[in-house]
Amino acid sequence: MEEVRLTRKWASAPVPVPVVLKKIRNPAHLVLNGGDFQEMSYPATNVVLGFDLEMFDWCPPFGRGKYDDLQLEYDFWRSPTNWFQVYSHLVLTMTNGVDGLYLAPVDEFSQLRHCHAANPGEVYLRRLEFVYDRRSGEVTQSRRMPQNEYMVFRTRTQTNDCGEVVSSNYGLIFEKGKCGVKWNVRAYFNPIPNDTNLECIEEPRGKRR
């Protein structure tokens, strides 16, 4: 391999750069919500809020959602005299005991920034907790959603008498994890039960695969 040296000069000819594009396997008609990102205002604090990931709305009495795929409990405080003294605490819990989610890395160099399909054999967590504590003026806790990861979820899971999964829906959640009074999020939902395919026909971003 020819030695690469930094010359700080323009190349005398075009430099070929190899690029490997992700294979288009089997694009699915997913329900896409939130565009690039949508700010969802929390209708209440310190209350368990149901959220329908397919309809992308809060469940009654705060919205028109029909199934609480997620349960969110949110607490927020900011000093009235010092803007830098702030506390934010968010707990995400999957409603069904067999449902869950896991974190996966974002591919920033592709239009398909996420995995082609959910992995049924992955370890699905039932609960995630994020907290940002700066009440004293100094950050004592900072556990927020990593910006280079997203959540793959399994929801609406049904099991047989032996406890085996017979039906479930899969999808994705991208969350900016900001500290504030709104949930900054977008979601992908596959409405076909037992279909793990998460490859979108349309992506909200205009990059090439």
| pLDDT at site 129 | 92
Cβ-proximal residues to 190 (8 Å cutoff; 6+ apart), any chain: 28, 30, 31, 169, 170, 171, 196, 197, 198
Which segments of 116-157 does DSSP mark as H helices, in order?
none
Reply yes or no on whether the pLDDT at 175 is more than 70. yes
The strands making up 141-143's β-sheet, listed across from edge to edge, are 57-58, 48-52, 70-78, 86-94, 127-134, 141-143
pLDDT digits (tens, 9 = 90+) for 99-124: 999 999 988 877 788 889 999 889 99
pTM: 0.81
What is the DSSP-derived secondary structure letter of residue 147? T
pLDDT-based confidence at 201, cuts 50/70/90?
low
Do 188 and 198 meet the contact criterion of CB atoms below 8 Å apart?
Answer: yes
**Domain spans, the chain:** 31-189
- Token pair for 26: 């089997």
Reply yes or no on whether the pLDDT at 202 is more than 60. no
**In the chain, pLDDT over 70 holds for what percent of residues?**
89
Count Cβ neighbours within 10 Å for each residue of 102-133 and write b for 16 or more, e otherwise.
bebeeeeebebbbbbbbeeeeebeeebebbbb
Rounded CA-CA distance 153/161 in Å is 23
pLDDT digits (tens, 9 = 90+) for 43-99: 999 999 999 999 999 999 999 999 999 999 999 999 999 988 999 999 999 988 889
Do 67 and 57 meet the contact criterion of CB atoms below 8 Å apart?
Answer: no
